[in-house]
Amino acid sequence: MSSTALSAIRLANTRAVIGALDAHGGMSRAQLCTATGLSRTTTHAILRELMDDGVVIEGPATPLGGPGRPERRLRLDPGAGVVMGIELGRSQAAAVVLNWSGVVLWSSTTAVDDPLDWDASVAILMELVGRATAPPRAGTNKLRHALVGLPGLMPSSPHHVGTDERDRRIADVRSRLTESLGVPVGVTGNTRLAAVAEFRGRGLAQETLIYCHLSRGVGAAIVLGGHLLRGATNSAGEFGHMRTTDDGPPCHCGSHGCLETLVGTDRVLAQARDVRPDLQDFDDLCRRTATDPALRRLAEDTARTLGRAVGNMCNIINPEHVVLGGDLVRLTDDWDVLVAAGLDDTALGQVQEGMSLSTSLHGRQAASHGAGLLALDHILGRANLLESDGSHDPTHH
């Protein structure tokens, strides 16, 4: 078994121990073995680490009732701290605060109106983070680590030292958050973070999952047999730039007819306004699509185009799970069914046989939740199950 697989098991076992202590309160070592189904040796080794980290504390020896010698009860230290997961996307900013067992203590989302106005977007993010750390939330609980997700491609290599606009923004958001939160803050890509949340949320370990992010930008993150696929230059999964037509609109990547220019939310809203000029915004479009046949047809056409592209990707990867997330998913309440119709046009029968297609478990919190889970991995330590982007985390070596 690979060392990554072993550390993944170790991390899952650590979570099981923390989860049991969180659910049952004070427990003896023997009770903990029974509750988790882990061996004595494994349980004791994990407890030693958690006690060294100050996460688990031991009470005085007390009789447990029944025969046998008194045992010490173990419990989570309420002052052990929390982690924060943060997202700055092209259409929203989001933050979650998680405790040691991954339970969400607080979460919030704020719309980003103009993704091109960087300073305004960061101001929205900083206001959100300020609310997350205000008492009585994380304020009463020591913040141990934070991770922020940003849209678009991350640098191609860990040793990349760039000076372009993207690099300046990564440095800017990291330094502002680090100063505001007082802990080192890691930075990575939003879509990958959302994939982490969806993978974990489904209790997966070794499976293959494709997460498709469908908002202003369109991209995917591929978890291949439990490992995040980075690619040679850290840009795997960019299916939004799959050219789907020769006469399509120009794309910011320099090409034209990219999938993103056809199914991105800005384009869908623009097309909807051609038939319904009074539409206020994307939320208004979502509301009216349910009852307006012309808007419903537009949604079906969009889903079909998207589904065909997803089906092409599935033929190459052959995943067990495809998850659709982002704003576009809110367009209809049967979005996965509409996309499945397009997928059926292109995906081989044998590919479809082994896969499930579903919408996001975490909705607008997917990326921030994934960021929180990875921040937790970071302090539990020692292993980072899915994310190989740890190089962009100054505290991760």
CA–CA separation, 180 and 203 (whole Å): 34
* 204-243 positions binding Zn ion, by CB under 5 A: 241
Does 46 interact with Zn ion (rule: CB under 5 A)? no
Which residue of 103, 134, 171, 253 would you call a contact of Zn ion, by CB under 5 A? 253
User: How far apart are CB 366 and Zn ion at their closest, in Å?
Assistant: 23
Q: Residue 360: is it exposed, middle or buried by C-beta count within 10 angstroms (0-12/13-18/19+)?
A: buried
User: How far apart are CB 258 and Zn ion at their closest, in Å?
Assistant: 3
Which residue of 180, 255, 346, 388 would you call a contact of Zn ion, by CB under 5 A? 255
Span near Zn ion by CB under 5 A; candidates 64-72, 184-192, 247-255, 375-383: 247-255
User: How far apart are CB 282 and Zn ion at their closest, in Å?
Assistant: 21
Neighbours of 10 (CB within 10 A): 18
DSSP H stretches of helix in 182-331: 190-201, 259-263, 265-275, 282-289, 293-317
Contacts of 277 (CB under 8 A, 6+ apart): none
Does 144 interact with Zn ion (rule: CB under 5 A)? no
User: 257 or 363: whose CB is closer to Zn ion?
Assistant: 257
Backbone φ and ψ for 317, nearest 5 degrees, come out as -95, -30
Rounded (5°) CA angle 365-259-347: 90
Strands 143-150, 82-88: pairing kind = parallel
Which tokens sit at 141? 């609980």
Span near Zn ion by CB under 5 A; candidates 177-185, 245-253, 297-305, 383-391: 245-253
For the sheet with 209-214, list strands across it: 227-228, 218-224, 209-214, 321-325, 356-359
Does 258 interact with Zn ion (rule: CB under 5 A)? yes
User: How far apart are CB 243 and Zn ion at their closest, in Å?
Assistant: 8
Which tokens sit at 91? 């259409």
User: How far apart are CB 309 and Zn ion at their closest, in Å?
Assistant: 12
User: 81 or 237: whose CB is closer to Zn ion?
Assistant: 237
Does 251 interact with Zn ion (rule: CB under 5 A)? yes
Size of the site for Zn ion (CB under 5 A): 5
* 1-20 positions binding Zn ion, by CB under 5 A: none
Binding site for Zn ion (CB under 5 A): 241, 251, 253, 255, 258
